[in-house]
Structure 1
Amino acid sequence: MASDQQPWHVLVFGASGAIGKTICDSASAKDWTVVGVARTPGEAEPAEQSRRVSYDPFQGADLPSVLGEATRPFDAVVWAQGANLTDSVYDVEVDAHLELYKANCLYVLISLRQLLDAGLLSPEGARLCVISSIWQERARQTKLSYTMTKAAVGGLVRSAAVDLARDGHLINAVLPGALDTPMTYANLSPTQLGVIEGATLFNRLSSADTVADLVTFLCSKQNNSLSGQSIAVDLGFSNVRLV
């Protein structure tokens, strides 16, 4: 855990994406030191991140080597990386399905194992958070592989919460619904957006800032009891049926 002399130290995977970037901004606003991780070195380093490294576990990268010997243990780690895919039982392609599992679930498992093996999680107990999706626990049309891999993330978080407790580590998942981000507007038609916005009486999309605020709470010293939870940020969309 961070001392009075050292700011809270957080590692953010997927730091170049809309959610990851917003989480980095929120952490930086709290004067935390942020190490952002991207899969490729060509992406520009935002000012809000103290440092940017490139890491791809499926290209044989060793995370401790990428981070460097001088890296001190992390007080918090966030996984905001991931991929999406449109398919169904009628047209699923096995290779594409496996690639999505690797991106959404196995990436978390491999990098977490490397952090544990290298002693790079705070010995006083780290706070870990995985960005998943409301479709982890729900289903929609033509999202077979995405729903299955996000459901696997839920299993990972629940199981890891049990095992990591012996070392004092907490792990949770945050499940965003459709967010007010450029990616949402690029991937959904105006009709689909209207359906989602109108599914609750809020008549709007959830905010990426709210996701980031929840993540930074779960990853802060203030969280000393929440673990193994999957918390939706969707304005109640998952539970509402307007009649």
Structure 2
Amino acid sequence: MSTNTPLKLLIFGGTGVLGNAIAEKFKLNGYKVTYGVRTLTNANDQFQLPITDGPVPLLLKGELFDTVVFAQGANNNDSVSNHSSDDLNRLFEANVSFISQTTQALLRHNLIKQRGKIVILSSFWEQITRQEKMSYTVTKAAVGGLVRSMAVDLGNAKRILVNGLLPGVVDSPMARGLLKPAQIENVQSQTPGHKMIVPQDVANAAYLLGCEDNTAISGQSLFVDYGFTIARVL
């Protein structure tokens, strides 16, 4: 990195498995990383959410971020026949409204630079679905619309590039705890290359869209799944 002033990443959900991998990828490439969190554990690089129209947290004063990553979110298993409105609204707030409201606050406080980048972590369930995944699928589908709308509006306003990432099933302790061995085997058998993605794959894709080398990609929702979504095993 040739610049004397480090590039700056603001990340939400940066303490989770995927968010942490993304933050570390940007750090390795010279970015200064700031975390928006619900519970503070390190005041040196974290501030407490939410960001509102009021005074910004001290850590954000005078900052101008090159990249903003939204890696937060909520999950749930339900169907149209057994879901609750409370759960659907809770997921919509966590997966959609939080992003739009936080972005609005960041813009009002002028915290995203001209020609900055926004990367939103969604899921391949944004464009496909499975049984017992209604509320999650609905809210992730809304994220796709949010990405496209933000890409147009923020592109016109500040030439900001906005993109979404759609990871497949990530090989992680959480996934292996939630899925049965037969389900893991099914995913692997239907994936070209017969393996699941790992957090580093998601981090690499986030960096691809969020770094300075991205000069024109915007409004896209990019699958990160070894081609699982488009593969059909006959």
TM interval, shorter chain, is over 0.9
Aligned twin of 1:55: 49
Kept in 2, the 8 Å contact 1:63–1:114? The answer is: no
Structure 1 pair 146–200 and aligned structure 2 pair: CA distance change class (3 A): same
Q: Counterparts of 1:75-90 in structure 2 under 5 Å?
A: 75-90=66-81
Match of 2:146 among 145, 151, 156: 156
Aligned twin of 2:187: 196
Aligned twin of 1:38: 37
1:62 is displaced (CA, Å) by 5.5
Q: TM-score if structure 1 supplies the norm length?
A: 0.91
SS at match of 1:238: coil
Cα separation, 1, equivalents of 2:85 and 2:208: 38
Aligned twin of 2:82: 91
Cα separation, 2, equivalents of 1:23 and 1:129: 11
Structure 1 pair 64–24 and aligned structure 2 pair: CA distance change class (3 A): farther
1:204 is displaced (CA, Å) by 1.3
Look up the equivalent residue of 1:51 and give its one-letter code. D
Structure 1 pair 69–150 and aligned structure 2 pair: CA distance change class (3 A): closer
1:214 is displaced (CA, Å) by 1.1
RMSD of aligned Cα (Å):
1.9
Aligned twin of 1:171: 162
SS at match of 1:179: coil
Gapped runs of 5+ residues in structure 2?
Answer: none
Percent sequence identity over matched residues?
35
Look up the equivalent residue of 1:103 and give its one-letter code. A
Structure 1 pair 32–191 and aligned structure 2 pair: CA distance change class (3 A): same
Kept in 2, the 8 Å contact 1:34–1:50? The answer is: no
1:56 is displaced (CA, Å) by 3.6
SS at match of 2:169: coil
Do residues 113 (structure 1) and 104 (structure 2) align?
yes
Cα separation, 1, equivalents of 2:146 and 2:72: 15
Kept in 1, the 8 Å contact 2:192–2:228? The answer is: no
Kept in 1, the 8 Å contact 2:45–2:59? The answer is: no
Do residues 238 (structure 1) and 233 (structure 2) align?
no
TM-superposition CA deviations, 1:22-59 (whole Å, max 9, x none): 00110110110000122222xx44xxx961222146xx
TM-superposition CA deviations, 1:56-88 (whole Å, max 9, x none): 46xxx5686225453411000000000100000
Do residues 136 (structure 1) and 126 (structure 2) align?
yes
Gapped runs of 5+ residues in structure 1?
Answer: none
Look up the equivalent residue of 1:240 and give its one-letter code. A
Aligned twin of 2:116: 126
TM-superposition CA deviations, 1:82-128 (whole Å, max 9, x none): 010000011010011100000000010010000011111113x1100
Look up the equivalent residue of 1:140 and give its one-letter code. R
Look up the equivalent residue of 1:203 and give its one-letter code. H
Kept in 2, the 8 Å contact 1:63–1:115? The answer is: no
SS at match of 1:53: strand
Kept in 2, the 8 Å contact 1:64–1:115? The answer is: no
